[in-house]
Structure 1
Amino acid sequence: MPFPNLAGKQDAEPLVTPAEHSEYRHTEGESGRERLPAAVVLCYSRTLMDYLTESYDGQHVGNYYGDLYAFADADYSVGVLGNFGIGAPATAMLMDELIADGVGKFFSVGFAGCLDETIEMGEFIVCDEAIRDEGTSHHYVESAKYAHASDLLTEATIELLRERKEAFHVGPSWTTDAMYRETKEEVQQYAEEGVLTVEMEASAVFAVAAHRGVEAASMFVVSDYLGPSDWEPKFHLTREDMQHLGDTAKDVLAASPH
C-alpha cells in the first residue's frame, strides 16, 4: 500500500487552499495581516512562550489559532507562534496559513530527546535533516527517509552560534508522531546511524517549507536521554537553556534578510 494511500497526491489540487481559509478567517474576526511578521519562531513550550512574550515588548497579532506575537525590537518583522499544542499536524496547518498571509521564514525550537550520551545538557542541537516517521510530511512532498532544513537559514544559525562561541552539534533528528511508541530497537538503530535526537515536528516543518518554497530551520535543547535500556528525563533542568534557545532563534531571524 502506498503512503499516502493515493499515490502522487503531493502535486494534486487541494479541495481547500490555505489562502481561501485565510480569507474566510480574516473576514470573520480581527485581521492581523497588516502587521504580520515576516519570520516566525515556532514554539511548542508554554513556558518558553511566556518567557518570550514577557521579556520582549511587542504586540499580539490576530487572527490565528494559538498566539502570534510580534517583537517591537525587531520592528515587528520577527514574531513567535505558540500555545497551539505540539506535533506535526497542527504545526503544518499553521505554517500553511501563515505562509498564505506572507510569512517566509520559520524557526522551529523546542525540547528533544537525545540519543547520544556524549552530548551535554544545555548544548544546542541544530537539526539539518529529519527522519520522516510522522504522517504529515508525506502529504506535502514525495515520501523519502529524510526531510531537509533550508541551507541558508541553517548556515546563518551555525554562523551565529560560532560567533558567540556556543556549544552546539549539527546532525539529524528522528521525527515521530507516537512518543509512547518509541521502541528500544528504533533508538538503538537510529543511534548507530548517527541520529542525535527525537522529537515531533522537524520533518514536517521542513517538508511544508520545501513544498511552499519558504525557509525553515530547527534547533533543540536536550530534555531527556534515551538509551536502549533506560530513559533519563532532565526536563526540570532545562529552563534557562530553553530560554536561551528562544532568544537565539529570535536573533537568527532578526539578523536574516526579510
Structure 2
Amino acid sequence: MTGNSDVSADSPLHTAKQYDEPSVFTPKSLLREARRQKELPDEPVPDICILDPDGDLVRYLVKTGQAERSSNWPGYHTELYEFERNNTTFGIIGCAVGASFAVLVAEQLFASGCEFLISITSSGQIQQRDDPPYFVLIERALRDEGTSHHYRKPEEYAMLDTDLRDRIEAECVSVSRPVYTGATWTTDAPFRETEQAIERARSENILAVEMEAAALYTFAAVRDRPVVCFAHVTNQMGQAEEDFEKGEENGSQDALEVIDVAADSWRSMA
C-alpha cells in the first residue's frame, strides 16, 4: 500500500528525526519522579504483562476476584492489575487505546521490569477469514499511524519477530476460537476508515484494522523487546446488525487462552 506521492516532505511527521539520537525525556525519569511524588517503592512489575485496550479482560478479572490492583505501579495515566494463572503472575493494564498510548505504557512497563508484552485489541474485519469473533496473530502491521515514525524511518510495515511468530503460531491450534496469522492495518483515525482505504487494505490481503500493533512492533524492534499483538476480530465496522459481539464474558475466556499460548511460547524460547 504505497503512500500518496504528493505528501509534503516538510510534514513534521517526517522531518527533524534523528533515529539514532537518544531521547532527552525517558520512561525511567518519568517513573522516578512519579515514585517520588507518590511515595512508592521501586518494585518490578511481573515478567509478563498484557495490554487490554478494551478493558473487558481487566473488568472480568476484577469482577471474578482474580485480579487485584497493584499499589506500587507509578504510572500517571493507568492502573496496573496483577493476577495468577497457571503458576504465573501476570500484569495487565486496561484501556490503553491507540498507538501513542500503547507505546507510552509499553515503554514504562519494560522500564519497570517487564520481560514480555502481549497486546490483545478489538479489530474490524477487512478480509473475511471466519465469522467474528476470532483472532489474528499479527505478523505484520501497516504503519498508518504516527507513533512508529518517531522510532524508525518510514517503511510500510512493522513486523513481528519471526521466531516468536513461529512458536506462537504452532501452539495456537489449542485455542478454542480460530487464530489466523496475517497482516493488519494500524490506524490513528478509526472514523476515517473510508471505502477507498478499506479497498486498498483488502488488495494487500490485510485481515483486520486496529490501532496499536504497528507502533508496538516498531518500538519492539528498535528497543529489542519481545512484543506480540493479537487482533480480536469482533466487528465489521458497524456495517452489520448485532456487531461488536465478543462472546461470553466479552471474550475474556478466549483471550486468556490466547495469553496462555503466547506466554508458554515465549518461555520456551528462554
**3-state SS of paired residue (1:27):** helix
**Which amino acid counterpart does residue 237 of structure 1 have in structure 2?**
E
Q: 1:33 to 1:80 in 2, by over 3 A?
A: farther
Which residue does 2:55 correspond to in 1?
46
Which residue does 1:225 correspond to in 2?
236
Supply the distance in 1 between the matched residues of 2:186 and 2:150 (Cα, whole angstroms): 15
Indicate if the aligned counterparts of 2:43 and 2:112 stay in contact, CA closer than 8 A.
no
**Which amino acid counterpart does residue 245 of structure 2 have in structure 1?**
L
Which residue does 1:210 correspond to in 2?
221
Superposition map of 1:142-153 within 5 A: 142-153=153-164
Which residue of 86, 93, 112 maps to 1:101?
112
Percent identity among equivalent residues? 24
Q: Does 1:242 find its partner at 2:251?
A: yes
**Which amino acid counterpart does residue 22 of structure 2 have in structure 1?**
E
**Which amino acid counterpart does residue 193 of structure 1 have in structure 2?**
E
Give, in angstroms, the shift of residue 55 of structure 1.
3.8
Indicate if the aligned counterparts of 2:160 and 2:217 stay in contact, CA closer than 8 A.
yes
Indicate if the aligned counterparts of 1:10 and 1:142 stay in contact, CA closer than 8 A.
yes
Supply the distance in 2 between the matched residues of 1:187 and 1:24 (Cα, whole angstroms): 43
Indicate if the aligned counterparts of 2:14 and 2:149 stay in contact, CA closer than 8 A.
no
Backbone CA RMSD of aligned residues: 2.4
Indicate if the aligned counterparts of 1:39 and 1:79 stay in contact, CA closer than 8 A.
yes
Which residue does 2:80 correspond to in 1?
68
Supply the distance in 2 between the matched residues of 1:221 and 1:187 (Cα, whole angstroms): 18
Indicate if the aligned counterparts of 1:56 and 1:72 stay in contact, CA closer than 8 A.
no
| Residues 9-40 of structure 1: per-residue CA shift (max 9 Å, x gap) | 22122121111111111222253652511111
Which residue does 2:6 correspond to in 1?
none
Which residue does 1:192 correspond to in 2?
203
Give, in angstroms, the shift of residue 224 of structure 1.
1.8
Q: Does 1:126 find its partner at 2:134?
A: no
Q: 1:198 to 1:78 in 2, by over 3 A?
A: same
Gapped regions of structure 1 (runs ≥ 5):
none
Q: Does 1:182 find its partner at 2:193?
A: yes
Which residue does 1:6 correspond to in 2?
15
Q: 1:32 to 1:2 in 2, by over 3 A?
A: farther
For these two proteins, the number of residue pairs brought into alignment is: 254
| Residues 139-160 of structure 1: per-residue CA shift (max 9 Å, x gap) | 0112100001233433333222
Q: Given the two structures, how large is their TM-score scaled by the length of structure 1?
A: 0.88
Gapped regions of structure 2 (runs ≥ 5):
1-8
Indicate if the aligned counterparts of 1:224 and 1:233 stay in contact, CA closer than 8 A.
no
